[in-house]
Amino acid sequence: MHFLYSLACTLLFPSLVSSTTLDFTTKLSTLALSPNAHIHLRDHPRYTDLVKRWSYWQAPDFAAVVEVATATDVAAIIRFANTHDVLYFAQSGGHGGISPLGSFKNGIQINMRLLNSVVLSSDGTYVTVGGGVKGVEVRDALWKIGKWTPHGLCECPGFVALALGGGHGILQGRYGLMSDQVLSMDVVLANGTAITASETSHAGLFWYVNLSVRDLCERDEC
């Protein structure tokens, strides 16, 4: 089973340094987003749940959380953040754990979990998955229709994040890594531009991501 990934996230992250613009939340609330998108500030009842992480070691700090419902929402937030000199960070499962995240202060969390779709193609040869879907959701959706694919070793991390990291799993001996399954990716770049990366569109970016992942995995670093 191969994939068209709907990656409503950025592959080019800004430097993880403290934001110089702390008073941006009022302007953020006026941002035109899709009807199903939601903005949550620190005092919102859902804020605490949305910033939960697998580990709080060097956890990022968010002045606002935006639940996105479309790739257009992601692009709008990134353009807003760039304009107001605010950091942003895409999060799905909340499993990232690297020390530079501790330097992320007063930024925007782009919460991907509403983008959790798994759609089978009409010919049954591939699925399109949303940027916020979890590994267990892809596994269970495919199992119900008699199909399977490499899906990582843990159920709760974001599926797309696992794939971009190579994606080891118990089926890799038969089907290869999760990254081997990618057909194309809808990506919002760090400048807020939405593109599709594949072998025929922005091929350089598509193969840079995949070859970088493969190189790491061959050195047992992914």
| Per-residue model confidence as pLDDT tens digits over 150-177 | 777 777 778 887 777 777 777 777 777 7
Q: How much is the average pLDDT of 35-49? A: 94
- Mode of pairing for the β-strands spanning 126-130 and 118-120: antiparallel
pTM score, two decimals? 0.81
What is the 8-class DSSP label of residue 24?
-
pLDDT digits (tens, 9 = 90+) for 3-12: 444 443 333 3
**Two structure tokens written together for 132:** 């916020």
Residue 63 in this model has a pLDDT that exceeds 90:
yes
Instruction: At 85, list the tokens.
Output: 């000199």
Distance CA 139, CA 208 (A): 27
How many residues are given for the chain? 222
Percentage helix, strand, coil, to 5, in the chain?
30, 20, 50
Q: Which of 21-25, 77-81, 185-189, 193-197 has the highest mean pLDDT?
A: 77-81
**140 plus 208 within the same structural domain:** yes
The number of folded domains in the chain is: 2
How many Cβ atoms from other residues are within 10 Å of residue 70's Cβ? 17
What is d(CA 83, CA 78) in angstroms, rounded to the nearest whole number?
Answer: 9
Q: Tokens 């790739």, residue?
A: 71
CATH of the domain at 59: 3.30.465.10
Shared domain check, 148 and 67: no
Tell me if 9 is assigned to some domain. Answer: no
Whether residue 81 is found in the same domain as residue 93: yes
At 100-126, the pLDDT tens digits run: 888 889 999 999 999 999 999 999 888
